[in-house]
Copies of this chain bind each other. A is one copy, B any other.
Amino acid sequence: MNSFFPPKGKHLLLDLSNCTKPLLNDAAEVELILKQVAEESGATIVSSFIHQFKPVGVSGVIVIQESHLSIHTWPEEGFASFDFYSCGDSVDLEGSVERLVKAFEGEIHEMKIIDRGFVPSDHD
């Protein structure tokens, strides 16, 4: 009997367009929003890291107990790219999409939710 069970999870890949441009270049505000979205989605925050690019752009990662939420922004384009990886089923990834759209006042340009950690029997 194989006792190995890979950690099951879901991985949201989300691109938003037409976001509020100044916000996308405000590292402190972006960090606040990501933390809020992570918490409201049921994640437990471990740590966060935000980098301000020059002349413009922000990259940030919120490390959570369940994995991570990241952002990369292109303020001049009003474009933001997210990934939200959550192990287990305690984090509301679907709900986080609505929260991110609202917070960044953007539109969904592309969205995928990928299953992670399948076990072979899942595909029988």
Contact = CB atoms under 8 A, between A and B. Distances in A.
Interface string A6-48: 1101010101010000000000000000000000000000110
Contacts of A4: 17, 77
A72 to B, nearest CB: 5
29 contacts: A5-B77, A6-B17, A6-B77, A6-B79, A7-B81, A9-B81, A11-B83, A13-B114, A13-B116, A15-B117, A46-B51, A47-B51, A49-B49, A49-B61, A51-B63, A61-B61, A61-B68, A61-B70, A67-B72, A68-B72, A70-B70, A72-B85, A81-B85, A81-B87, A83-B83, A110-B116, A110-B117, A112-B114, A114-B114
Residues of A contacting B: mostly: strand
A102 interface: no
A59 B65 CA distance: 9
A59 B74 CA distance: 26
Interface of A: 4-7, 9, 11, 13, 15, 17, 46-47, 49, 51, 59, 61, 63, 67-68, 70, 72, 74, 77, 79, 81, 83, 85, 87, 109-110, 112, 114, 116-118
